Chains A and B, each alone.
Chain A
Amino acid sequence: MSIRTEKTNMPFFMKDCALIARMAGIDTAINLREMRERLLHCPIESIFHHFCETVIRPTFDDPEYRNDFAIWAARDLQDRVLAEQLGIINPYSFHDLEEVRRCVIDIIDDRLSEVTYIPWVKMDNDFRFMRAVTVVFDAGKQFELPEDLVAALPEMSLSSVYYHYVEARRRTENHKDDFTVWLSGFGSGTEGLIEALGCIDFYFMSLPELKACLVRAVAQFKGEPAIG
């Protein structure tokens, strides 16, 4: 399927990113009540890190839960109910990260009102708040046409996919991915491709899964059958 666009557009400059984690500089939480207190005051970058950057830092691809709070609840607090309640949170379905923070605190408040003791963890298993520094750099590639995007996706690094498709939602107007924003600049003709990119429920995927899903979703616009 070829793509006929209404107008031309600026080239898409492919970026890549690298992340380094750092301690957030606040005290650790050794029980659920402390966790609630720390959450009230921790930097918003910590919320972002523990919910959204878990896929890009050195990590296991297929964890039981996608955010660190749910993992801590399951593994260290051994509170499976709380873990499930936290694990289902999709931060990208909220307007902003402050809403995510409030949601987590609400869930913890509910749980604290249900249990008959304050759930606590063994020494050394306390929750350590982190954040990260992300460095964005030129990937050394650019492309001009929507078809080029379709061809470029399979070759993109996972961190590049993360930057343009996931992280972009934090910095673009209307929380769109970079590909969609760029394709919109061509006017009519790219709606199908934009729709294919937009219908992926990405948060609960690992980056390799997301990349494979994106490649499959846009393959029809290359005029070739999807593979894999």
Chain B
Amino acid sequence: MRWRSLRGNRQLDKVLDYYEPVVGENAISQLRQLARDLQGARVVHVNSTRVGGGVAEILGWLVPLMEDLGLDTSWEIVEGAPEFYQITKSFLKALQGNKVPLTRRMLDTYEKTSEENAERLRPTLEDADFVFIHDPQPAALFDLCPNRKGIWVWRCHIDVSHPNRKYWTYLRSRVSQYHASIFSMPEFAQSLPHPQFLIAPSIDPLSQKNCELVDGEVSSTLMHLGIPSDLPILTQISRFDRFKDPVGVIEAFDLLGQSTPARLVLAGGGATDDPEGAAVLKEVRDAANGNGRIHILELPSDAHRTINALQRASTLVIQKSTKEGFGLTVTEALWKSKPVIGGNVGGIRQQVHNHHTGYLVNSPQGAALRVQELLRNPVRIRQIGERATKFVKENYLLNRHLREYLTLMLGVRRGLTNHLMTN
């Protein structure tokens, strides 16, 4: 159990206690005060899996922390046959703008599986004070729970800024009747006939991907991966996807030339079940052209500690995307005091502020220029790194995320006046 091991022998009663040294007493006190008016409220989160993926990661801390604050919180999942998961995968791809066919048979399977899940979950959901439905997979449950008494919120974690219209039209008909929805960024919000809230993602500072590592772990990870620590390390952690522009990163690295010796690490998930990923990975290998200073790593999806070590081993982190959602890999790097050289797109623009937390770039040349500039100025790297950690601490840790959930719950329950006082 992660919570048990963090403070040696000291037993702490609440999960929140473990976060207090990281986020500060005021931040924890705020959460407790905000939650006072929600004591005993029955809250149910519904998604499609307990393991793997960003939503499961978020619910993994959100549910225990809400319970800790006195909310009666549970986490339910929708289940189905493999065909159901194939269809919901199509939904995710299509809603993020990909061309995916949608057939009546797919919708029939989706609706039938939703009905089966509603049979099982109906008593819990209809009785809850707040129901948070995460992403499209469980979205149909609203219509299937006619005696619901609480507030239902659809939480959209994905970028639906340019959805496949056919899929969106169908999903819109399912989520329009919710009391509210939540999007991660204003750019992702779609027109809906109810209030649309904005809650940016966050990172868990105590998770395997972000916690402090034990002495020697960073160097042993590098050794294990066959990366010498003789030169500054530049890292981009991303799946092998054209929108992440890994080939552009190699182009930038090649532009550094002999005057700025460094190593480049491109680490991403394995591309075995993703034909496009495999094609991009091949392009990346071709672009690297056997350069011994370019390290291309295919990591398993649970290699959180390895990614943590790679980010900590890096002098600079690159995220040269040409299209990006929020960009949590940027948040993770900033938290570890690494200046980020990021593409001037999406949520990277919210996080990378020129000269303060890193640099926004628009081309391989721009990336190469900023890498050169920073590698010649270690003092600047340290200063930017310090600011970066502070920036994430104040804005993108899970306490802010939880605070916004509580604020939303209070706000929606009280009818959304602009300014409301709790008791």
Contact = CB atoms under 8 A, between A and B. Distances in A.
Interface of A: 16, 18-23, 25, 45, 58-63, 75, 124, 128, 130-140, 157, 159, 171
B186 A18 contact: no
B62 to A, nearest CB: 15
A23 B196 contact: yes
Contact of B422 (A25, A59, A63, A135): A135
B26 interface: yes
Contacts of A140: 29, 33
B197 A134 contact: no
Given A60-B391, A124-B161, A157 B26 contact: yes
A20 B418 contact: no
Interface residues of B, number: 42
A71 B105 CA distance: 48
Interface string B22-38: 00001101100110110
Contacts of B407: 18-20, 133, 135
B197 A131 contact: no
Contact of A136 (B198, B403, B408, B420): B420
A195 B14 CA distance: 44
B33 A135 contact: no
Interface in B174-196: 186-187, 189, 195-196
Contacts of B104: none
A132 B198 CA distance: 9
B102 interface: no
A60 B196 contact: no
A22 B200 contact: no
B391 A61 contact: yes
Question: Would you call the interface of chain A mostly helix, strand, loop, or mixed?
Answer: strand
Given A23-B186, A58-B400, A61-B391, A137 B34 contact: yes
Contact of A131 (B27, B187, B418): B418
Question: Would you call the interface of chain B mostly helix, strand, loop, or mixed?
Answer: helix
A227 B350 CA distance: 33
B391 A18 contact: no
Contact of A138 (B189, B403, B422): B422
Given A18-B404, A157-B30, 15 more contacts: A16-B30, A20-B198, A20-B199, A20-B407, A21-B197, A22-B196, A22-B197, A58-B400, A60-B350, A60-B356, A61-B391, A133-B420, A134-B419, A139-B33, A171-B419
A58 B29 contact: no
A58 B37 CA distance: 24
A23 B182 CA distance: 10
A18 B406 CA distance: 9
B256 interface: no
B186 A130 contact: yes
A33 to B, nearest CB: 21
B357 interface: yes
A132 B391 contact: no
B395 A135 contact: no
Interface in B399-423: 400, 403-404, 406-408, 410-411, 416-422
Nearest to B185: A128
B17 interface: no
Interface in B91-121: none
A135 B35 CA distance: 11
Nearest to B197: A22
B347 to A, nearest CB: 11
B373 interface: no
B394 interface: yes
A58 B406 CA distance: 16
A131 B196 CA distance: 10
B29 A133 contact: no
Given A23-B198, A61-B394, A133 B418 contact: yes
Contacts of A25: 195-196
A138 B34 CA distance: 8
B356 A62 contact: yes
Nearest to B24: A157
